[in-house]
Amino acid sequence: MVERGVGQLDTLKSRMDRTAARAQQVSGWYVDVASNSVVVLAEPGAEAAGWRFVARAGVPRTAVRMATEEQPRLFADVRGGEPYFIGSGRCSVGFAVVGGFVTAGHCGRVGARTTGADRAPQGVFRASSFPGDDWAFVQVNNNTRVLPEVTDFRGGVARVAGSQEVPVGSSICRSGSTTGVRCGTVQARNATVRYPEGLVGGLVRTNVCAEPGDSGGSWISGNQAQGVTSGGSGDCVRGGTTFYQPVNEILQRNNLTLLTTQNFRALSSRR
């Protein structure tokens, strides 16, 4: 036998719901049948504020169990090819790595802050190289989860299993936030390109089109990550040539670990 029935507890919780606007430093509240009480979750060190909220709601203290919990937050999932913003500029996510994602260096300098597709704070450029190379690493914040996937912008994804480089003549696909997924073939490796900003070497040439905003996006062959979009010529109406920065060089130069379907599960299980 318990002192309060479920209906009584629900009524007490409803009182709190009606005074929710006055819940300062309170993370939430819920009915806990096992303890026969309404649990109020105060932020760490703010138990007094939690009890003030209980009093304002007109709920007896004897019916409440006070606990502490950090303020909940929304998590944003990030996949290869999706957009991110640097101020008013837009680029595309390359591949998920432990701690963040890789992208193109010309998208941002070290210290530049990024926002996600929802314009919420996302991360900061921790490494960037351009010209000479065209790579960067963005470290994401605790509200952002990077996934070992590349979006096809139609509700599907390509899952990343590794980063084994494919030879010249291989089929390859690119994902970017401006033109979505486009496919073609690898035409040459270790190409040097002269951009107006300077020379970039070690790029891979393809017959795949791309447009502004696709920069930094994913190149994948099967389930193997290949690189991030650098630049090119033409567009996706007339066709064009696009170059990408090989992903393995980015990983090696920055001592980064590519997230794959296998190590992502292992890393997640440790948390």
133 catalytic per annotation: no
Which residue among the candidates 27, 163, 177, 215 is catalytic per the annotation? 215
**Which of 57, 91, 73, 78 is closest to 210 using CA atoms?**
91
Q: Are 16 and 57 in contact (CB under 8 A)?
A: yes
Chain CA centroid to CA 90, Å: 15
Which residue among the candidates 106, 129, 163, 218 is catalytic per the annotation? 106
**Which of 112, 134, 111, 123 is closest to 204 using CA atoms?**
134
Element (H, E) at 261: helix 261-269
Spatial separation of the C-alpha atoms in residues 129 and 3, rounded to whole Å: 66
Token representation of residue 127: 């490494």
**Which of 196, 195, 203, 208 is closest to 240 using CA atoms?**
208
φ, ψ at 108 (rounded to 5°): -170, 150
Between the CA of residue 256 and those of 2, 208, 248, 252, 253, what are the distances in Å? Answer: 56, 27, 9, 7, 8
Through-space distance between the first and last CA atoms of the chain, rounded to whole angstroms: 39
Which residue among the candidates 134, 175, 177, 218 is catalytic per the annotation? 134
106 catalytic per annotation: yes
Residue whose token pair is 């010209």:
131
Q: Are 193 and 151 in contact (CB under 8 A)?
A: no
Between the CA of residue 156 and those of 60, 65, 145, 159, 199, what are the distances in Å? Answer: 51, 44, 18, 10, 36
Which residues are known catalytic residues? 106, 134, 215
